[in-house]
Amino acid sequence: MPPPGQPERWPEAVDSMGILGMFRRRPHERAGFELYGAAVAAARQPALFESLAVPDTVEGRFDLVSLHVGLLIRRLRRDPDARGPALAQAVFDAMFADMDLNLREMGVGDLAVGKRVRQAWEAFHGRALAYEAALDSNEPDALAEALARNVWRGEAPEGCAGRLAAIARAQDAALAGQDIAAMAAGRVRFLAAEELLHDA
């Protein structure tokens, strides 16, 4: 965490997407894409959709990716090593460069791409801040309530939000114990959803 009195900063969205961001090399760019890819793979584990009734839709997949990427960025930007915040920015850049590219491959025009990526950034940022506040709070139900609002739009099946919150806390703890040098090399380990669901 930053020193007392210093505000915590999330990665900047400015110039990180679209034409301005796609063709400029950045520190840790390769590692950022590899770490982002690992977070996406963790978010797309079928057990999360099948066991927790997360909608297997564009919105549902975005919500789980946002959760896992948010946990990863939280871990990185809190590292005392200077590489941590730089890697957090690289992961953020990778996420929205990937989104930009996917929209263009779908045939979405330049102006619409910018608008949709901005909307996605706002949705991601709001979720990430809510989850971080819940993880840092002393309220045991805060994270489950935040997840219920976002993932299931306030209508989570009984027990599912609490189980996903337990999974998120386990992933958060596992990420906290991983070495920054490995992450700088693009290596990160997320826990298997099936094992976590067994314990949740």
How many structural domains does the chain have? Answer: 1
Say what the pLDDT of residue 71 is: 98
Q: Check residue 178 and report its DSSP letter.
A: S
Is residue 63 within 8 Å of 150, Cβ to Cβ?
Answer: yes
Q: Would the pLDDT of 55 be above 90?
A: yes
- Domain that includes residue 119, residue range: 18-199
**Structure confidence at residue 178 (pLDDT):** 98
- Would 141 be classed as within a structural domain? yes
pLDDT band at 2 (very low <50, low <70, confident <90, very high): very low
Asked if residue 80 is part of any domain, the answer here is yes
DSSP string, 75-129: HHHT-SSTHHHHHHHHHHHHHHHHHHHHHHHTT--HHHHHHHHHHHHHHHHHHHH
Nearest to 147 by CA among 137, 134, 47: 134
2 is a domain residue: no
Whether residue 1 lies inside any domain: the answer is no
Cα–Cα distance for residue pair 165/160, rounded to 1 Å: 9
145 falls within a domain: yes
CA distance 67 to 70: 5
Structure-block tokens of residue 198? 């067994």
pLDDT of residue 22: 44
pTM score, two decimals? 0.86
Q: What is the mean pLDDT of the chain?
A: 89
Q: How confident is the model at residue 21 (pLDDT cuts 50, 70, 90)?
A: very low
User: How much of the chain, in percent, has pLDDT values that exceed 70?
Assistant: 87
Average pLDDT over residues 116-141: 95
Distance CA 138, CA 119 (A): 31
